[in-house]
Amino acid sequence: MSACVVSAEKCFLGTHLHSADALLIFSICLYRVTKLKSSIGDTKETLEEVDGHTAKLLKEQMAEAISDYIDSMKGVFNTAVGKLTKKNDALEAMMLVLKDQMLDLML
């Protein structure tokens, strides 16, 4: 064990420490707390940056997925319109034939 840890253990166990030892332990603890606060701040900044990138990436992925879905639906729509157009053309042709036949019957 390091001297600081031993000194800290003695302090917690009620052993007398010289004021210089206590000051050293306090200074070390203060340094570690300061370093930890700095590390927490750095971690928070990193998390905020990651969160920003994650949100941006999610938006991009959602936009791409929606675009792909729209393209797919356009394909389905165009196929349906194409089939309906063919049926409509066939129906119009039949109507013209029937009209001609009716005119022939009337004359």
Choose among 19, 37, 26: nearest CA to 4. Answer: 26
The answer to whether residues 45 and 52 touch, using CB atoms and an 8 Å cutoff, is: no
The predicted-structure confidence for 17-29, as pLDDT tens digits, reads as follows: 577 788 888 889 9
pTM: 0.47
Q: Identify the band that residue 3 occupies on the pLDDT scale cut at 50, 70 and 90.
A: very low
Token output for 49: 């940056």
Alpha-carbon distance of 86 to 84, in angstroms, equals: 5
Task: Show the tokens assigned to 59.
Answer: 């938006």
User: How many angstroms separate the CA atoms of 27 and 29, rounded?
Assistant: 5
pLDDT tens profile 27-81:
899 999 999 999 998 899 998 888 888 989 999 999 999 999 999 999 999 999 9
